[in-house]
Structure 1
């Protein structure tokens, strides 16, 4: 029986045609990429509330998942906070699997075929990213975009950590930040009367009676189906669709491709609310005793559709004094910074102090390693936080009112007084995401949290963090539930219990 070529083979064929110099490095990177994706998948299988897992049984030699059809899946004891690729194989009914895509296909559960294909492409893409990574000097980067481009593996816990469906090998090499390219953004002029514009759209992106919208070249080719005569060079950041303009702000472009979990557009509602939300966040940050800055949205535009839109934001580097550096939390693991127990505890104390204070006042940040940045002293000590991208925060009018604040006009999806929803948003992104990804293991996370929480005010939100399981997005379940909107949640063992 003829089998179609795997995603790994397809990438190898494209490399042979376009970049034969990377073939050997790509082949060498494949085993590690499979283990990295399999480790993330095993985390989801071990903890997500998947309806076809009947029981989970811990034994001396690992964890056994009993499937509803009677089969048994065996793997190592899971550490839901580990970032290393410690799962090299699992066993399904006596057969070993080191390939996450093949495992998912042979599980034969609902909607597994599409997810298996996604895992296959993500594994190949991860190997490509590792093969194409640039050698990094020992000294710390000077520019903000260099920090971002050090993040090669993507999301530390998502099985689709490097999934880029719809991107050819040539496009990944041309646009993926880990490959260090300069991306030529297209410039599309649109009559001003056809645009929704908020904030101060800069003069250099205006013409007589027209607003000039920066467009990602992938979007121009695959969605807008047009060529752009004028171009603007920029450096891609870790989100791929956000880029740093030379000497200027960051531009978030419309990129209607699914990266990791979902298609992230720039909705008309988010453009309309951007200026009000930016002012609101700045006012909240002013209440954080100098421990938090929020990058301001300078301007936003939508030309009648989420497919042709852009947002300009301040660069986080403006919040660093001489000698200080602003580092995305996701990039901390790529540094030579000695993340000692004392350093991790200091960083956890800073992050929890800020996150819990804002939560008490009525705002739950989506403080994962991409949105959250830390200002480091010249010696590497964590001093302050910078937060960017307000699109996924949650705001509680009732909590705001208790502190004499008023909620601005926000999209309905941002507004909730549900304490569980607010806590999931913050704890799932900050503790199970940014802090866990920085700590690297459950034991290191536990030690950092134990030291950090001693000095924190005893609030109901802190009691919830200390007293129950830790919420985390059920990333595997969400990929297997494409028709279900919104976030779905898993409960991880609390490292503090």
Structure 2
């Protein structure tokens, strides 16, 4: 296991790390505040002024990743550090909603502390050679419109840094043996049996070492009475992906998704029973939809799951396809979110043909997602962390791969209108808008939206026609969602200006 000694608070890190941690943590929090409750007033050059719910004025630099927040006071503009920004957000949300939420305030602080720990850890490690792994482990900002995207449950960094993708971690799995009469499984879980050998009367069950620590009290009786045995660890490492609880096993070309009893962004990241019991249906629908689509798009199937009946959610492990039977020959998969965040060797950087690259990107990502909805009633959760874009030797996009049956919705289980709104949020707002903005930032003068309009306009649907003329897009309100204590799956949207309606 790769153990990365954490810093003992900001006193143990350089002023540069402290300043960078503030900037990384402030940008998504400001994005939420400005999108969800503020009123834009004016801008001059790179400076943008907003009115907050209580009437106070806030000034920031930049739009995509706002920075250097300043509050207007009788003595002029006062610079806000991250602690002052958190207090300002709390005051404005109390005024806006009439509610308080001390838990979210702690998460905002925890998220900033986590970024500082990650920055310090990255300074002591090197990037993986594999560009796919570099893309998965690049997300220091993370979700660009979440108030606490890097929160790790409030625990000390020593507990989670060894398993953090942003710290470039890799580690072996713990191998458990589960008494055979307590095993429950569905689908194809044969890949798990190839990870080791269980004693007679037991089945093999890999476990995430962090989850074993988190669920230790719940699992202690089963270890005591022999329903669970510890067999050791795998002789090979696994690599945490951007999802943290989903690990890639390069030598086996296999993904394994685990429960983690910790809140990450909006939810406690358990494999919940109700989700596991519907996965075969959603996975089969997504697989069929993408198999029927024209082109090279592929679905990474969630083949099956295995767990123990006495700890159904705590010990659940989901088996997901690897790449190599799906990838085009010579293609390299990259996480879409990594292309936005940036990493060494990222294909959009420094290109002489950014417009052509963007056209190729749209041609791979848009048609399969729209066709799955229109022809199969499948709503892919096609956001940045669930979309992989494979590139050829020249870095041009040649294939899209989608994943995560847990986030797939099916018509008519949800209405067509609700399904379309979710698809537009995931594909356009969360995904294409971010890639377009990053590309335009790196290539000044590029207008990415005419190409995006053409790509969506090729689909003869009432919904796409309406999308291209609507003045607004649905923006998810993660700050208000968390502040009001709503369930993470209970998405709420507010209207955002639609750059497609040009």
Q: Which residue of 2 aligns with 1:247?
A: 251
Q: Which residue of 2 aligns with 1:408?
A: none
CA–CA distance in 2 between the matches of 1:324 and 1:178? 24
1:126 corresponds to 2:115 = yes
| 2:143 maps to which of 155, 168, 177 | 155
Q: Tell me if structure 2 keeps the 8 A contact 1:375–1:385.
A: yes
Q: What runs of 5+ residues in structure 2 fail to find an aligned partner?
A: 1-5, 224-229
1:38-437 pair list within 5 angstroms: 38-48=26-36, 50=37, 56-60=39-43, 62-67=48-53, 70-76=54-60, 79=63, 82=64, 84=65, 86-91=66-71, 93=73, 95-99=78-82, 100-107=85-92, 109=94, 110-133=99-122, 141-142=129-130, 144-202=132-190, 203-204=193-194, 207=198, 208-225=200-217, 228-232=230-234, 233-248=237-252, 249-304=254-309, 305-332=312-339, 333-334=342-343, 335-338=345-348, 340-361=354-375, 362-397=377-412, 415-419=413-417, 421-437=418-434
CA–CA distance in 1 between the matches of 2:201 and 2:134? 36
CA–CA distance in 1 between the matches of 2:213 and 2:126? 35
Q: How far is the alpha carbon of 1:280 from its aligned partner?
A: 2.4
Q: Which residue of 1 aligns with 2:435?
A: 438
- SS, match of residue 187 in structure 1: strand
Q: Which residue of 1 aligns with 2:450?
A: 450
CA–CA distance in 1 between the matches of 2:125 and 2:214? 33
CA–CA distance in 2 between the matches of 1:307 and 1:215? 10
CA–CA distance in 1 between the matches of 2:180 and 2:133? 31
Q: Which residue of 2 aligns with 1:4?
A: none
- Residue deviations 1:371-420 (CA, integer Å, cap 9, x gap): 100111111111111011110111113xxxxxxxxxxxxxxxxx21241x
Q: What runs of 5+ residues in structure 1 fail to find an aligned partner?
A: 1-10, 398-414
- SS, match of residue 154 in structure 1: coil
CA–CA distance in 1 between the matches of 2:114 and 2:129? 25
CA–CA distance in 2 between the matches of 1:292 and 1:103? 45
CA–CA distance in 1 between the matches of 2:136 and 2:52? 41
CA–CA distance in 2 between the matches of 1:282 and 1:171? 37
CA–CA distance in 2 between the matches of 1:448 and 1:374? 18
Q: Which residue of 2 aligns with 1:487?
A: 491
Q: Tell me if structure 2 keeps the 8 A contact 1:436–1:442.
A: no
Q: Tell me if structure 1 keeps the 8 A contact 2:206–2:317.
A: yes
CA–CA distance in 2 between the matches of 1:192 and 1:418? 43
Q: How far is the alpha carbon of 1:165 from its aligned partner?
A: 1.7
- SS, match of residue 251 in structure 2: coil
Q: TM-score of the superposition, structure 1-length normalised?
A: 0.82
CA–CA distance in 1 between the matches of 2:212 and 2:28? 33
Q: How far is the alpha carbon of 1:136 from its aligned partner?
A: 9.2
Q: TM-score of the superposition, structure 2-length normalised?
A: 0.81
Q: How far is the alpha carbon of 1:115 from its aligned partner?
A: 2.1
Summarize the Cα distance change of 1:223–1:353 in structure 2 as closer, same or farther, 3 Å threshold.
same
Summarize the Cα distance change of 1:453–1:338 in structure 2 as closer, same or farther, 3 Å threshold.
same
Q: Tell me if structure 2 keeps the 8 A contact 1:271–1:301.
A: no
Q: How far is the alpha carbon of 1:487 from its aligned partner?
A: 1.2
- Residue deviations 1:76-95 (CA, integer Å, cap 9, x gap): 4873xx2x3x3211316555
Q: Tell me if structure 2 keeps the 8 A contact 1:364–1:425.
A: yes
- Residue deviations 1:448-483 (CA, integer Å, cap 9, x gap): 232133251231121232222111211111121114
- SS, match of residue 286 in structure 1: helix
Summarize the Cα distance change of 1:418–1:92 in structure 2 as closer, same or farther, 3 Å threshold.
farther
- SS, match of residue 59 in structure 1: strand
Q: How far is the alpha carbon of 1:64 from its aligned partner?
A: 2.9
CA–CA distance in 2 between the matches of 1:185 and 1:330? 26
Q: How far is the alpha carbon of 1:262 from its aligned partner?
A: 1.1
Pairwise CA RMSD of aligned residues?
A: 2.9
Q: Which residue of 1 aligns with 2:227?
A: none
Summarize the Cα distance change of 1:389–1:303 in structure 2 as closer, same or farther, 3 Å threshold.
same
CA–CA distance in 1 between the matches of 2:476 and 2:450? 23
- Residue deviations 1:59-78 (CA, integer Å, cap 9, x gap): 345333242xx441322487
1:36 corresponds to 2:24 = yes
Summarize the Cα distance change of 1:484–1:246 in structure 2 as closer, same or farther, 3 Å threshold.
closer
Summarize the Cα distance change of 1:269–1:211 in structure 2 as closer, same or farther, 3 Å threshold.
farther
